[in-house]
Amino acid sequence: MADQKNMRDNGAFFAQVRGRVQGVGFRYSAYHEASRLGLTGWVRNTYDGEVEVWAEGPQESLDTLIQWLYQGPPRARVDEVDAETKSPTGAYRVFSIE
């Protein structure tokens, strides 16, 4: 029963991050930030030079990660973040780099 309550209290988002976001440690840094926030999900590069993020967890932590995505690591240049609210799946136990 507690797991169902936690699922209701949690949120999720899918984000696409555009700019100079590959080859600058973006995935590694996003992984550490999401893990620090206690989120689950993944981060991955796309073939067209973007980074995609799926994250699940407490809404406050999700909001913090979204704000971080707009900045990224020091060597990144983020031009755009397109984040969509989603329903959490509960399918992930950790945050990983894909």
Catalytic residues: 27, 45
**Which residues neighbour 91 within 8 Å (Cβ) at sequence distance 6 or greater?**
none
SS (H, E, C) the chain: CHHHHHHHHEEEEEEEEEEECCCCCHHHHHHHHHHHCCCEEEEEECCCCCEEEEEEEEHHHHHHHHHHHHHCCCCCEEEEEEEEEECCCCCCCCEEEC
